Amino acid sequence: MSTAPASRSAWPTARIALVTATAALTAVTATACSTSSSHTTDTAATGSASGSGRTIQVVAAENFWGSIASQLGGSHVKVTSIINNPDADPHDYEPTAADARTVAGAQYTIVNGIGYDAWADKLLAANPGSGRTQLKIGDMVGIKPGGNPHRWYSPDNVHQVIEKITADYKKIDPADAAYFDQQKTTFETKTLAGYNKLIADIKAKYAGTPIGASESIVTPLAEGLGLKMLTPETFLDAMSEGSDPTAKDKATIDQQIKNKQIKIYVYNSQNSTPDVQAQVKEAKAQGIPVATVTETLTPAGATFQQWQTTQLQGIEQALAKATGK
């Protein structure tokens, strides 16, 4: 698996100042729950409200998990996603006092883990909540520190998260268990129908097709789609970490593009460094179709499925153009 530690210079954000952050985090009380910097989503239910009428206060470190949590919880949850701006880098986010107040009032928290959002662990530790349920995605799917943290790009892991969030909601609010089961069924069979179909179609038609990519964010998706990643893992890691790739890796990729060993090139448009820009330009010059992905929900306000489906359609179109299938 690829790595992606909690720092990357290519994004336009500051690194966490621990002393300042700690002072801000511990200065707030555990009773407040409003926030000015975070994005709160009040979701409409799929079906009528029932049971206890309770609303679970949920905080997600990133909006891709927050979007899923909102749709699974419907009218019985209120979800706040701390990272909700496409220009914010989840690796290097600097929590605010408002974020700390939000976390302090949370009954359920969702963080990615695997070194991706270490700031969220500090936020939770500084603001302990009584009886709060916590979900760390990396631990749940069995990816250890040093592994590829981009689990929202793994279709299998996404479905595991759906199961876990639903189970947690039912434990927190047993009276509404049937409602949460209904939400999950609707989400998986109807809401994610387009997402699931695209994944199945691409895998059935293009499995084994060699591709190139700009960074490790693409790796879990390539695995889920059955595509063959030819880009050296060390290059993918370097780009995700914000470090300089080796001359050897760059030469390898240049040859792969020049000799058309890869059928398509997929890059993260939120982390387009000069090296990546040069590869995109060369791929296009060689007639190799280029597809884009982003690290967080784009555009702002998009749902998880809208975002992912649009990207999958782009990859499918690139593969069709490259292979004639």
The token pair at 205 is 């038609």
pLDDT of residue 26: 38
pLDDT at residue number 6: 38
Mean pLDDT of successive 10-residue stretches along the chain, which has 325 residues: 41 36 36 37 42 89 97 98 89 91 95 95 88 96 93 98 98 97 98 98 98 97 98 93 92 97 96 93 98 94 97 98 97
Query: Quick one: pLDDT at residue 201?
Result: 98
Q: What is the model's pLDDT at position 51?
A: 65
State the pairing for strand pair 290-293/210-213.
unpaired
pTM (predicted TM-score): 0.85
pLDDT at 92: 83
